[in-house]
């Protein structure tokens, strides 16, 4: 990695970040010490480039299709492979994929990810459209789909990091690709687990094997084979007698089940396999009338619970330092303090899969905000489409978790017009707030 315009390249860690690599190389001071935050912020007035070289094996190169997948780019970046620009990323919260079959070589492939200065980006955006968000953060931050709290908050510093903060990998295919798996449950005397699988195309002769098992078991409870219809969609239904139900912390245990979907070719060879871990439970919201109006209570497996919990904000301003070990410590602390709910606040980021796995195991219901906290937005067509794709990516990634209780659209946005300065003069209420519509995804 290097600062653009500087010939001094340093060894980078991926997943990682600019601040993390500069700290490792001794080229910046700890931003949490005294007023080092000021100097750290100045470093983000520059562009930075990550570069790597790699080889490909014959099996990958012989695939009919090869996808280069980025699970986290923070944030404004151009991606180039072997001199060919693949695309432009502009949302930290999204997954980015590019077809690279015709660009890859056997060896000496050069991949470059060029990150543009986030501080210059928001300054330029604010000059064109001076829409303001919370007073705690820098002007213009509402224009970038990046963790808002990086730009300063009432609880945190202005540490506007950048980089490749989640995995990158290549996927080769010579077959239809599993694009989506949806799992629904119907609870009566028994539990019906309905799994719908969507492939990229319908191919004659290919089958799907779907297995249901208890987490940690050696053998599946049930196995079913199915074929796709003309649209590449298949469905199977498992009926579980005497199901082991998932309960919030202090209300019962947290047994989990595995749904494994495997794509098979004509001779039964496994082509691709995807695993989802689920819990068997119902979770609804009770809004029965009471003496004050209407209650708002989680109802799990027909039992109304008293919610106990707190807000989760990012553990660290350098997101690559948020390890599974740290997550386990804080969530185990929540469990031991008799929490049964954790609210993921909407001014940070969508946590890793490990966060939700741990909540599944510890019985912590997740109240999940979308990342639109405390702001007024300029909802252009491009901005709205970017937000819709962000929602697709994250809902599809997280919807199977037993711990996922609900999705909340935002935090404190509606109240902003009534209580926070001159927002209503700058952006008419109906225009921005009601036009940021998001897709309905089960």
pLDDT in tens, 149-202: 999 999 989 999 999 999 999 999 998 899 999 999 999 989 999 999 999 887
The answer to whether the beta carbons of residues 160 and 150 sit under 8 Å apart is: yes
Phi and psi torsions of 123, nearest 5°: -65, -45
Rounded Cα–Cα distance for residues 136 and 151 (Å): 8
Question: Which of 29, 272, 412, 426 is an active site residue?
Answer: 412
The model carries a pTM of: 0.93
What pLDDT is recorded for position 165?
95
| Unique residue bearing structure tokens 């298949």 | 234
What pLDDT is recorded for position 426?
54
What pLDDT is recorded for position 81?
98
> What's the sign of the alpha-carbon dihedral 12, 18, 21, 27?
positive
Burial annotation 381-417 (CB, 10 A radius, 16+ → b, else e):
eebeebbebbbbbbbeebebbbbbbebeebbebeebb
Which residues of the chain carry a pLDDT beneath 70?
A: 416-442
Rounded Cα–Cα distance for residues 67 and 82 (Å): 15
The answer to whether the beta carbons of residues 2 and 43 sit under 8 Å apart is: no
Burial annotation 185-210 (CB, 10 A radius, 16+ → b, else e):
beeeeebebebebbbeeebeebbbbb
Tokens of 302: 């027909």
What pLDDT is recorded for position 314?
94
Catalytic annotation on 412?
yes
Angle of helix 324-336 versus helix 353-362 axis, rounded to 10: 30
Tokens of 229: 């219809």
């Amino acid at each position: 990695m290097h600062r653009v315009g500087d010939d001094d390249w340093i060894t980078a860690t991926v997943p990682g970040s600019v601040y993390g690599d500069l700290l490792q190389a001794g080229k910046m001071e700890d931003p949490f010490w005294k007023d080092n935050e000021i100097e750290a912020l100045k470093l983000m007035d520059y562009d930075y480039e990550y570069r790597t070289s790699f080889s490909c094996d014959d099996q990958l190169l012989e695939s009919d299709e090869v996808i280069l997948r980025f699970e986290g780019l923070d944030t404004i970046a151009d991606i180039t492979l072997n001199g060919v620009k693949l695309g432009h990323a502009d949302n930290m919260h999204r997954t980015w994929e590019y077809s690279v079959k015709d660009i890859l070589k056997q060896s000496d492939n050069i991949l470059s990810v060029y990150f543009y200065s986030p501080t210059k980006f928001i300054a330029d955006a604010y000059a064109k459209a001076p829409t303001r968000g919370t007073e705690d953060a820098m002007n213009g931050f509402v224009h970038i789909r990046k963790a808002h709290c990086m730009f300063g908050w009432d609880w945190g510093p202005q540490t506007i990091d950048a980089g490749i903060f989640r995995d990158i990998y290549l996927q080769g295919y010579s077959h239809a690709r599993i694009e989506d798996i949806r799992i629904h449950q119907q609870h009566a005397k028994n539990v019906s687990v309905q799994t719908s699988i969507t492939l990229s195309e319908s191919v004659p002769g290919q089958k799907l094997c779907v297995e249901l098992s208890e987490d940690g078991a050696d053998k599946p409870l049930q196995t079913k084979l199915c074929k796709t219809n003309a649209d590449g969609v298949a469905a199977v239904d498992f009926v579980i007698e005497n199901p082991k139900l998932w309960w919030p912390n202090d209300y019962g245990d947290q047994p989990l089940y595995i749904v494994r979907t495997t794509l098979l070719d004509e001779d039964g060879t496994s082509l691709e396999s995807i695993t989802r871990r689920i819990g068997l439970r119902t979770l609804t919201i009770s809004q029965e009338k009471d003496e004050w109006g209407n209650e708002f209570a989680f109802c799990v497996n027909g039992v109304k619970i008293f919610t106990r919990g707190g807000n989760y904000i990012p553990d660290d301003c350098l997101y690559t330092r948020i390890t599974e070990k740290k997550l386990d410590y804080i969530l185990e602390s929540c469990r031991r303090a008799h929490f049964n709910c954790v609210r993921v606040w909407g001014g940070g980021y969508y946590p890793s899969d490990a966060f939700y796995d741990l909540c599944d195991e510890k019985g912590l219901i997740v109240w999940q905000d979308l990342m639109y906290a405390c702001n007024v937005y300029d909802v252009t067509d491009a901005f709205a489409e970017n937000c819709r794709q962000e929602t697709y990516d994250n809902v599809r990634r997280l919807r199977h978790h037993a711990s996922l209780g609900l999705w909340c659209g935002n935090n404190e946005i509606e109240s902003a017009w009534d209580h926070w300065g001159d927002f209503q003069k700058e952006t008419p209420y109906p225009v921005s707030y009601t036009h940021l519509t998001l897709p309905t995804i089960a």
